[in-house]
Copies of this chain bind each other. A is one copy, B any other.
Amino acid sequence: MPEPKKTSVRDRVTRQDVARFAGVSTAVVSYVVNDGPKRVAPDTAERVRRAIEVLRYQPNAHARALRLGSTNLLGIVVPDITKPFFAATTEALERAAAAEGYALLLADSASDRQREKSNIGNLVSRQVDGLVLLTLLTEPELATLSLRDTPAVVFNWSGTVPGFYAIGAAAETGAYNAVRHLVGHGHKDITLIMGARDPNRPDPRELGWSRAVREAKLEEQRIEGTDFTRLGGYQAMQRILASRPLPTAVYASSDLEAIGALRAMREAGVQVPEDIALASFDDIVDAEYTWPALTTVRLPIVDMATAAVAALIRGDTSTGGQLFDTQLVVRHSCGC
């Protein structure tokens, strides 16, 4: 005989108890709880509902998951929930998921690829019904992941990845438009602060900047590599300020970097936008509260999140994806 552990004292109340209390079978309880698949006589149903109420019965989600093979759980892995962009994305996903009756299992990778891989494995073994990945991994790495057929979308990813549904924003165009705006202000020296550079897969923001710069026939523009953090932007800007000639404008690949750059410029006594104009990417909340407020590129995060959740639930995620348009948000850091 096994020793079923009496389920810890908690969730004592089971479907059995409800059935007994209402004087029906467990099947009937199921039918009323799930509103199907069979019909139940109105007053029987009422009795059951009362029993549920009285006993404060709550279905056991794991028994259900075991039986059905689906959990109503979505897994999300983010590099660092502390970054406003990821927090905003998480919130949007949570909202979209909740609206469909799904809860969110959150894993934070601490900006570490190894951690990310183990997080993904963990979520998969917890049988999430779908996975949204805000990933640090490269495409070949993604291919080696063992998802056991868990539907997965890569979020904020331009391009496609076999085995995944890719949801992204038209970042190339977004950056291009922002830089063109800077060009429109008459700037001829627009250096790029770029958060991460992968020689195999140039970032669309870099591509957009570079296209705008080329089109404007500006020459030899500088790229200052760093990472996607305030500190990274700060240090990159310090390096830029330490060398000559100074650019008249800077495009930063994220608002976070722009915030760092702003600090470096203030500390050095350079005025934004008078001495150096600035624009960036993401449109996090903070962008409106910097001084000057950031001209930046807005991503339709809510739409993207909704689409991600929909794709996972509808389940056609083995390939393809969606690209969303961005929008230039003009504030003051560009000189407007």
A residues contacting B by CB (< 8 A) are: 4-12, 56, 58-63, 65-71, 73, 80-82, 84, 87-88, 90-91, 94-95, 98, 103-108, 110, 121-127, 146, 148-150, 230, 234, 259-260, 262-263, 266, 285-286, 288-289, 291
Contact = CB atoms under 8 A, between A and B. Distances in A.
Given A80-B91, A81-B81, A95-B110, A124 B8 contact: no
Contacts of A7: 69
Given A10-B150, A66-B66, A69-B8, A122 B94 contact: no
Nearest to A72: B126
Nearest to A125: B58
A106 B56 CA distance: 24
Given A103-B126, A122-B103, A125-B58, A148 B66 contact: no
A81 B108 CA distance: 13
How often does this chain occur in the complex, in copies?
A: 2
B106 A104 contact: yes
A5 B64 CA distance: 12
B149 A9 contact: yes
A214 B326 CA distance: 53
B148 A10 contact: yes
28 contacts: A5-B68, A8-B70, A8-B149, A10-B149, A11-B69, A11-B148, A56-B146, A58-B121, A58-B125, A59-B125, A61-B126, A62-B63, A62-B65, A62-B127, A66-B66, A73-B105, A81-B94, A82-B84, A82-B87, A82-B88, A87-B87, A91-B108, A95-B108, A103-B107, A234-B289, A259-B286, A260-B289, A262-B291
